[in-house]
Chain A
């Protein structure tokens, strides 16, 4: 019996997920005033946080095996999300096409990633790790790029994996708080531009960041959702090129400017590694 079979038969997981869903939906969306901004908390954040709490070793609710089984199911849950997202883009298709230039160009937002991330990383004492950590927001395609260019068992690889895991653990909650804070304190940004900016991460991060915008602007929620989903699709298409040709060279240049002189890592002989895997 493989892990997916075990996961599907693990009734504890399904009952827990159902209970968490019901509890989260009963609490409902809540809005808080925090300083100058507004924080919008939505049910998907509660169900995620409560689920993470179930994993605390002290509570003895979930074993490590349960967690690995749960993670084998996560990929398929996103099928529903992507199907629903597609059906949100369709009705607003022509509106999205009109916003095409903005959707494509905002991929240059990765420059912001590099200029925010690399200096902080170097100041904290990271060296070549800074390149992997701060050239992108480290979603799956970005890991593949670093893996191919430098190898994952290198400083660059540890950097990208570290930010990837950070995103998995904190990304949804953090991006949701970030977008509700920016939307409520920085009037320069239109909700449409913010919706596009939510699309740069994973589908989970996008939804968590989009939810407060939808709560704040219910009258244009379909448009915002369509823009976010379209932005997420574009990121998947042009993001790879942007990373390879612009943000990795830029991160490398900035790291040297900040005084890191270590040479870039060279991946271990790829051929030998793959040969090993095939057997």
Chain B
């Protein structure tokens, strides 16, 4: 995807995140002025996220080694700028905390859902057995990881 296209779509998707965040927090209750204020309160957090994304994409662009995708730099940058002690980390954390992270996923998964129809066709050609195996695989991974994490945490404490 070209950077210009990325920027346009980030604005569209970001607007949906802002609206979803506002609806999820019942931003309309309390009259028009309070509603507008609730919406405006999440905008700085949105701008911080955009800044982190832009920074991550820029780092990925200038890195000579292309082994890591841009999301790896985005998540790392987001982490670094909010570690306590990083200049301004408290303000950044306070701004982004206005955007619910579970709510952020509602529009993201809406796009994923709209795209999933083409994969259902692919799945039909694979057959039901692979679906059963897949579900067992997810159970095995989840339980396996949880058992080890639990045991290690107990040993450490």
Residues of A within 8 A of B (CB): 4-5, 7-8, 13-14, 16-18, 20-22, 24-26, 28, 42-45, 47-52, 54-56, 62, 64, 66-68, 70-91, 93-94, 99, 101-103, 105-117, 120-121, 124-126, 129-130, 133-134, 136-138, 158-159, 161-163, 165-172, 174-175, 178-179, 182, 188-190, 192-194, 196-198, 200-201, 203-205, 207-211, 214, 225, 229, 231, 233, 236
B43 CB within 8 Å of chain A: no
B134 x A166 contact (CB < 8 A):
yes
Nearest-neighbor residue (CB-CB) of A163 within chain B: B134
A109: chain B residues within 8 A (beta carbon): 141-149
B153 x A192 contact (CB < 8 A):
yes
A211: chain B residues within 8 A (beta carbon): 102, 105
B139: chain A residues within 8 A (beta carbon): 116, 178
Interface residues on B, range: 35 or more
A113 x B153 contact (CB < 8 A):
no
Closest-CB distance, A197 to chain B (whole angstroms):
4
Nearest-neighbor residue (CB-CB) of B99 within chain A: A84
In chain B, positions 71-95 with a C-beta closer than 8 Å to chain A are: 71-72, 74-84, 86, 89, 92-93
Closest-CB distance, B39 to chain A (whole angstroms):
14
Q: Tell me the dominant secondary structure on chain A's binding face.
A: helix
Docked CA distance A68–B31 (Å): 41
Residues of B within 8 A of A (CB): 1-2, 5-6, 8-10, 12-14, 16-17, 19-20, 23-24, 48-49, 52-53, 56-57, 70-72, 74-84, 86, 89, 92-93, 96, 99, 101-120, 122-123, 126-127, 129-150, 152-153, 156
